Amino acid sequence: MVHVLNELINKYQMHGMQLGEVALGAVLKDPRDYNLARDTVLSTQLDPKTPGIDIQRACATSLSTLVHVALKIKTGQIDCGIAGGVDSISQSPVSRSEQSERGTKLLLSNKAGKISQALHRLKNFPDFPTFVQVEECATGLSMGESMELTARKWKIHRDDQDKYAYASHQKALIGVRANFFDSIVPLNGLDHDDNVRESSQEKLAQLKTVFSHDQEATLTAGNSTALTDGAAAILVGTKDWAEKNNLPLIAKFKAFDESAIEFSKSEELLLGPAYSIPKLLLKNNLTLGDVDVYEIHEAFAAQTLCVMKALNDQNFLKNNEALEIFSPIESDKINTYGGSLAVGHPFAATGSRLILSLAKQLGHSTKKYGLASSCTAGGMAVSVLLESLH
């Protein structure tokens, strides 16, 4: 995260500048990073009087950090700030297993008897480290297991998921060749997302399912997003502040929505964007067709296909009192340069990547509105509406 912020500072010559806020987050945070944002600020070339705050909302973390900074700017509390997120899945925290915990308690309890007896019993409780499990406390299911249920409910077939995943990689490859991802900053010799690859639908079709193994299972490693390391940050400010500091203006933060659904009985854990997007459009008197570019987090190919199917379903919109926003979404408006399936998903950083992609597309075209949305654990979603400055 420090590296990304310093690159941002260098790019816009912000050395020694005091900002109104730096809001950052991480989903799998090491306990030593309890003050991530502030410690990051103090490790960069920003003025040390710049405050920092940690925010976490699962996969939409850096969308929520953006909302936080944008609201402080809109209410006149500050005139500039940075929003972002970071996660290192390769260094995710580990903990002791439940068996190990029970064994330790047994050893320390009066019931253990003699030390020799306690040590003998402890042999049955090996001290195995366990990695953090992304399971829902309400259901006990992982996201992949939950998504299998949603895909079946919405009748999203394996072939359609593989086609979508293949298309995501192909669109990302187009972006790579067009230098669309030029905002990536090199680190330790790596200067590109190495998850983007040439593949084929035939190869994807050969992969085994990973979250369920019955005949109806459809989710594979190929049509599910890869968990990767990454960090991303967005510089936000008022028009006056940007012009005063000779900084380029790319897009305008217009509005947002943060929603949650009851998913434990509906099998719709990751369908949050299908509820959040209509609410955001209703607030701004827009239809689905009024939005020129969509950046939707691809947790799974099935998840994005479910969201698209719901938004194009008039009965679904009517049941959620949002029929007036209906207008068929053209598929080429969604994730034009690929999505998380292609470039990976470093949890807390993904939201900033969505916003950056959206802003660049609005800034380099005649398109007016862009919308980013991400599902999250716990049946939530965050959606952000950007407007072109043209």
Residues recognised as catalytic: 59, 345, 375
Q: 155: phi > 0 → left, psi -120 to 50 → alpha, else beta; which?
A: left
| Paired strand residues for 68 | none
Nearest-angstrom CA–CA distance, 248 and 11: 11
| DSSP per residue, 134-150 | -B-TTT--BHHHHHHHH
What percent of the residues of the chain are helix, what percent strand, and what percent coil, each to the nearest 5?
Answer: 40, 20, 40
CA-based max dimension of the chain: 79
Nearest-angstrom CA–CA distance, 357 and 359: 6
Contact 205, 301 (CB under 8 A): no
Q: Tell how strand 230-237 and strand 251-260 pair up.
A: unpaired
Closest CA to 359 of 252, 284, 280: 252
Nearest-angstrom CA–CA distance, 360 and 368: 12
Contact 181, 196 (CB under 8 A): no
| DSSP per residue, 279-291 | HHHHHTT--GGG-
Residue 370's SS3 state is: strand
Nearest-angstrom CA–CA distance, 383 and 372: 6
Tally DSSP H helices, then E strands, for the chain. Answer: 14, 10
Phi, psi (deg, nearest 5) at residue 194? -85, 10
Q: Tell how strand 380-388 and strand 230-237 pair up.
A: unpaired
Nearest-angstrom CA–CA distance, 203 and 191: 27
